[in-house]
Every structure is written in C-alpha cells, then in structure tokens.
Amino acid sequence: MTQHRINTGNHPPIKQYPRRLPLAKKEEAERLVKEIVDNGIIEESSGSWASHIVLVKKKDGSTRFCVDYRKFNEITIKDSYPLPRIDDTLDALKGSQWFSALDLKSGYWQVDIQPEDKEKTAFTTGQGLWQFKVMPFGLCNAPATFERLMETVLRGLTSEACLVYLDDIIIVGRTFKEHLNNIRKVFQRLQIANLKLTPKKCRFFRKEVSYLGHIISADGVKTDPGKTKA
C-alpha cells in the first residue's frame, strides 16, 4: 500500500520554537494532543525537526488542531502526480441516472508515512515534541500521495462505475442494478485496501447528489447554491 514519502534532499532540519499561547489555548492544545495520541495518530519524537501548531476555530465552535508546515513545505521537493481536473470529472458523470457519494474517514490519516520520514512531521506545543504516525494535513505533497493511492485502489473501474477526487468518491450507474453492482465493486476494493468510510457523510442511491461543489443529476451538472453563499 502507498506510504507517504517526504523528500527534503540534503536540507538541514528545520526547527521552530513553539509560539506563545494564552493559557486557555494552551490547555486546549494539550487536550487535542492527548486526543490524537489516544487515537494512535501521533507519538513522541526525538528527532531534529519541529514546526509550529495552529488552533483553528470551526463553524460549529469546536477547534481544529493544525500544524503550520509552510516553512517545511518550502524545502520539500514537490511531487508532480496530478490531481484530476474537476471539469473533466464532472463531464464524465453525464449519462448516469443513479449516484452514491462516499467520504473516507479522516482520509489522510489512513495513509502511513515512511518510517524514516516520520520525524520530519514533528511539532511542539511547548509540552514535548510529537510526530505523526500517519500522513498529516498541511504537507504540500499529501494531495498527490492520496490521489495516487485512491487511483491505485480503484484502478480498472471505469468512469461509468466511479470517479474519485482525493477523499471524495462518487459511484454512478445508468440503471439501479448497474449502480448496485458498481457499489459492490468499489466496496470490495476499499475493503481490500482497509480504507474506512464516514457513514454519516455517505449518501446512497440518490437521483441527485452534491459532489465537488456541484449538484449532479440525470439532468446534468449545476453549481451547488449552498457552496456559493457568502
């Protein structure tokens, strides 16, 4: 299975010291670190690399824990693996009558990192040094790695069965029977690759579905009005 590689050439390690956080944010950061430790996402690090953390407020009021990899990305040799063109992906959906949209659970976190590169993902909160055991969000080559993985997993299934853009998979079909058969094929591939879905974000057997910021139906493709509101 695909592992994420971080190629920094011969560049010496980048070590950034932790930013000062207000007490409330510091406690929040420690809580979030404990949470992802308990989930097996990160582990303690003894390497020479360190990046800053960023706490981002989400729309629902909760906090997203992020690592600021901007300086690190500047020295990372870029992966040229292409992402699909969204317009080509949408064009390929024409002619389908049935749609199911799948969402992979914390997609990037289902991808391992090559062991020798784990220390490069390290970050500090002021309470120790931690590194990711899996591919974190924010790395410049993460989208390329993930798209490569998904296209490998689903290779051989034509656009008449399914299409993938990063962690968004859409399964199609011209008839209900064909659609059901395509769902079985995709699920078999995901099971073999041990890739897990977020059930509450998946939508099955729809005549109309939202995908990549558009509404997809047998009538064609139109912009999703919910994605264009200010």
For the stretch 6-18, pLDDT in tens is: 999 999 999 988 8
Distances from the Cα of 55 to the Cα of 31, 35, 176, angstroms: 12, 14, 45
- Rounded to whole angstroms, the Cα distance separating 26 from 185 reads 46
pLDDT number for residue 156:
87
> How many structural domains compose the chain?
1
Query: Please, which residues have CB within 8 angstroms of residue 93's CB and are 6 or more apart in sequence?
Result: 99, 159, 163, 170, 172, 211, 216, 221
In the numeric block, the tokens 């080559």 are attached to 141
The CATH number that applies at residue 177 is 3.30.70.270
pLDDT for the residue 148: 93
Please answer whether residues 81 and 148 qualify as being in contact, where contact means their C-beta atoms are separated by less than 8 angstroms. yes
Residue 120 maps to a domain: yes
37 three-state secondary structure: helix
Residue 65 lies in a domain: yes
Q: What is the DSSP track for 68-86?
A: E-HHHHHHSPPP-PPPPPH
Give the separation between CA 178 and CA 184, rounded to whole angstroms: 10
Distance CA 98, CA 216 (A): 10
Asked, for residue 87, whether it belongs to a domain, the answer is: yes
In a domain, 113, yes or no: yes
pTM of the model: 0.86
Domain membership of residue 230 (yes or no) is no
For 160-210, what is each residue's pLDDT tens digit? 789 898 888 999 999 999 999 999 999 999 999 999 998 998 999 999 988
- Please indicate, yes or no, if residue 82 is contained in any of the structural domains: yes
Range of the domain at 178: 23-223
Chain-centroid distance of CA 106 in Å reads 6
Q: Concatenate the DSSP letters of all residues of 147-199 into one string.
A: HHHHHHHTTT--TTTEEEETTEEEEEESSHHHHHHHHHHHHHHHHHTT--B-G
Q: Tell me if 43 is assigned to some domain.
A: yes
Does some domain include residue 94? Answer: yes
